[in-house]
Structure 1
Amino acid sequence: MTDGNRKIAIIGFGEVGARFSKEFVASGLKDVTVYDILFDRDATRHPLAQAARSNGVSIAGSAAEAARDARIVFSAVTAASAYDVAAQAGGYLRPGQIFVDLNSVSPATKRKDAAAVEQSGADYVEAAVMSPIKPYGIKVPITLGGKASAEVKRVMDGTGMKLTLGDNEIGRASALKMCRSVMVKGFEALATECLLAARLYGVEEGVLESLQRSYPGMNWEDFAGYKIGRLLEHGRRRAAEMRESADTVAEIGMTPLMASAIAERIDWVADAVDQRPALREAPDAEWRNSLDQLAEIHRLDRLGSTER
């Protein structure tokens, strides 16, 4: 593996993997390979492979194949799968390679991931994604942690990535991300619960008007649409991330009262969206209509509970 090697592998082809792979190629990287377990399933293989080809990236038959000879291997999977992917990587990576963990998991999980990867002789770097991917793509602010962080920054220089060097101690960048998430996803859960209850009472306009008077620096109409929209589109994943935030709070010796409640509310929204998948594509500006559909599901749930 030469010092000039810029082959990139991405494990996971969801929102992050698909967006990053496309923009890496657009930035001038010539050798980008992706793998996702959904490539192995009949129902999802064709559309994902088509998307990967349109991004100009190569498709591997396994994570090990994707990572072969890659200088940097990005892991962009679900929180629940993060350790399994890291543990598998510990079996196929080689010295000189760097595993960059983009996943939103607790500091303890990051340290566990690092230990698994470093058994191979490869380096481990945690990456805390500090803003939503959607508006930024590879320009999203990312804080790196670990001894090989500077090398990741050097290799990715020129791609447009916004990488900040954090602490060498694994877990600190994750703590930064996960504590921030309590606030960010808390806003989303609060906006959804507040305005759904207000809508059911028929007082949502009064609530918004009062908030606008109290906090005139914010556009509460747009805030409501964006925050509710995030849960409708990515609720299940965000609930899993909030449970990791709850673990982060617990790992420092605090009881995660708020973080756990936030995860529970987000999971409720995700369950509702599973019943009406079209809500995932609902425009943010139509958040009142989305809340009406959530309200109907709420009424049906209550009716079902009464009948039971």
Structure 2
Amino acid sequence: MDMAIKTVAILSPGDMGHAVGRALAGHGLTVITCLAGRSRRTQKLAAAGGLEAVPTLEVLVERADLILSIMPPSAALESAGAVAEAMQSVERAPCYADCNAISPMTARRIAAVVTNSGGAFVDAGIVGPPPGKAPSPTRFYVSGGDAPLLQALDCGSISVRQMGPEIGRASAMKMCYAALTKGTWTLYAAALVTAEAMGLSEPLLSELASSRPAVEADMRRMVPRLPVDAGRWIGEMEEIAATFAQAGLPTGFHRGAAEMFAMLHRTPIARETRETLDPGRTLEQALVIYRDALPGRQFAGAVGGDAGGIVARRLDAAPFAPFGDVIVLGAGSPGTRDDLAAAMENRRDHARLAPTLSRNAPTAMPLRVKWMERHPYSSQTFIPHDLGRYLVLVAPRADNGDPRINQLQAFVADASQGVTYRPDVWHHPFTALDRPSECFVLRYDDGTDDDTQWFEVADGPVIRLADAG
């Protein structure tokens, strides 16, 4: 493919993507993106990076000479499919570079999706912090027959490094690099949390400061901030494990790292962002938070004596943060408005907001959990209208996609609290307590079975209410 790169599209302008866009705009390129269904934070980052927003993927494909996919690896294949459909729709196929932390096998699957729609494909792996965050440039390792096209991105803060014509070489480079960096950070965290749980973190850190001062300094620098990125690094560890398997090596190292990131993602720190992360939080303070998130401690004091079961606790924002947001009613000033839809996430451009009024009879307690549900492509918001208390049950997602029922968390919300579940969060169907209820429900649907997925729980736990109510 012989063409000049003048307009670059970035999907999606998150922490890395918006910084890449800003660097390319400073290099004289026109940078665009599509923000349909993106979160408010992503929209703000796009604006901060100076990216021009276009309304649809079709418009993006019509205008772009090059599309850079920069997103969590779990979304890479689906995003490529959506772009390929847009290419077919407008009968134009720009070059598509997958810059995500994916295995060589995943890169080849995405390449097939793109090339079957007529587009050129470049395999790319990004190494280093976002452009402008470090003295040295961010490295773009690229491979594939059309990889020389990405040389147009080479500038002061981005260094493009060619890896040859074979699709998969650039992805493999990224996998090996991240296996060392992020894999090491999770090992640091696992060892330190184990020491904290056993009352040994102070002497361990003292020993490391004496015998391995560089390691101890790296721990203090990285371990307190890991939850901020943990959610999107889970899939990256799974891709690394797949890469190791292809090479004939054990996969357990990075499957364990994925589990460690999943645990960190359940902590209150995960609710913070790179912009709002508490800079004064020490390693010692972070370790206490991580220790308290361990599965064996989450329900300490929550199992009700001989009766057994999980005792639901009052809904608070911090413990609920890994799963969504708590909406406090009656806290705003007169004359103000909260845009509930803008705070939600829609991962399908064609889906439409479906507001409903749900009516529910009260549920007798105790309750045995029999079903969980999730909405893979949309947030779901519940706003009380006429109700008393209601039950909120959530569970983290296991590696195979099922809910981790043994880590289920139970909360009791009252009429002054609404909730928003993030996309792909396993939760129990709405469960009214005390009296019949009505609540408003917001979700983005397209009318297919993908709107809601169900999981039948075998021999589920029993949920009880505290005696104090």
- With structure 2 as the length reference, what TM-score do the two structures score? 0.58
Residue 291 (structure 1) aligned to one of 273, 287, 292: 287
Classify the secondary structure of the residue corresponding to 1:303: coil
Residue 141 (structure 1) aligned to one of 126, 139, 142: 139
Matches within 5 A, 1:200-279: 200-216=197-213, 218=214, 220=216, 222-273=217-268, 277-278=271-272
With 50-59 and 187-196 compared, the bigger mean Cα shift is at: 50-59
Name the residue aligned to 2:105: 108
Residue 97 (structure 1) aligned to one of 94, 98, 108: 94
Structure 1 residue 210: Cα displacement = 2.4
Structure 1 residue 70: Cα displacement = 1.4
Residues 53, 138 of structure 1: alpha-carbon distance in 2 compared, 3 angstrom cutoff: farther
Name the residue aligned to 2:168: 171
Q: Which whole-Å CA distance do the structure 2 matches of 1:201 and 1:8 have between them?
A: 52
Question: How many percent of aligned residue pairs carry the same amino acid?
Answer: 23
Name the residue aligned to 1:32: 31
Residues 305, 256 of structure 1: alpha-carbon distance in 2 compared, 3 angstrom cutoff: farther
With 174-183 and 89-98 compared, the bigger mean Cα shift is at: 89-98
Matched, 1:68 2:68: no
Q: Which whole-Å CA distance do the structure 2 matches of 1:64 and 1:137 have between them?
A: 37
Q: Which amino acid aligns with 1:296?
A: D
Q: Which whole-Å CA distance do the structure 2 matches of 1:106 and 1:286 have between them?
A: 34
Residues 273, 64 of structure 1: alpha-carbon distance in 2 compared, 3 angstrom cutoff: farther
Which runs of 5 or more structure 1 residues have no equivalent in the other structure?
none
Q: Which amino acid aligns with 1:33?
A: I
Contact kept, 8 Å, 1:110 with 1:171, in 2: the verdict is yes
Q: Which whole-Å CA distance do the structure 2 matches of 1:103 and 1:48 have between them?
A: 17
Q: Which amino acid aligns with 1:87?
A: G
Name the residue aligned to 1:23: 23
Classify the secondary structure of the residue corresponding to 2:33: strand
Q: Which whole-Å CA distance do the structure 2 matches of 1:139 and 1:60 have between them?
A: 29
With 79-88 and 136-145 compared, the bigger mean Cα shift is at: 136-145
Classify the secondary structure of the residue corresponding to 1:38: coil
What are the superposed Cα offsets for residues 103-122 of structure 1, whole Å, 9 maximum, x if unpaired? 11111110000011112222
Aligned Cα root-mean-square deviation (Å)? 2.8
Query: Which structure is higher in helix share?
Result: 1
Q: Which amino acid aligns with 1:60?
A: V
Structure 1 residue 137: Cα displacement = 9.9
Classify the secondary structure of the residue corresponding to 1:295: helix
- With structure 1 as the length reference, what TM-score do the two structures score? 0.85
Classify the secondary structure of the residue corresponding to 1:34: strand
Classify the secondary structure of the residue corresponding to 2:63: coil
Q: Which amino acid aligns with 1:147?
A: G
Contact kept, 8 Å, 1:23 with 1:138, in 2: the verdict is no
Q: Which whole-Å CA distance do the structure 2 matches of 1:241 and 1:138 have between them?
A: 24
Query: Which structure is higher in strand share?
Result: 2
Contact kept, 8 Å, 1:11 with 1:76, in 2: the verdict is yes
Larger radius of gyration: 2
Name the residue aligned to 1:79: 73
Structure 1 residue 125: Cα displacement = 0.6
Residues 257, 49 of structure 1: alpha-carbon distance in 2 compared, 3 angstrom cutoff: closer
Q: Which whole-Å CA distance do the structure 2 matches of 1:27 and 1:257 have between them?
A: 42
Residues 133, 156 of structure 1: alpha-carbon distance in 2 compared, 3 angstrom cutoff: closer
Contact kept, 8 Å, 2:266 with 2:293, in 1: the verdict is no
Contact kept, 8 Å, 2:263 with 2:293, in 1: the verdict is no
Q: Which whole-Å CA distance do the structure 1 matches of 2:280 and 2:20 have between them?
A: 24
Q: Which whole-Å CA distance do the structure 2 matches of 1:198 and 1:303 have between them?
A: 19
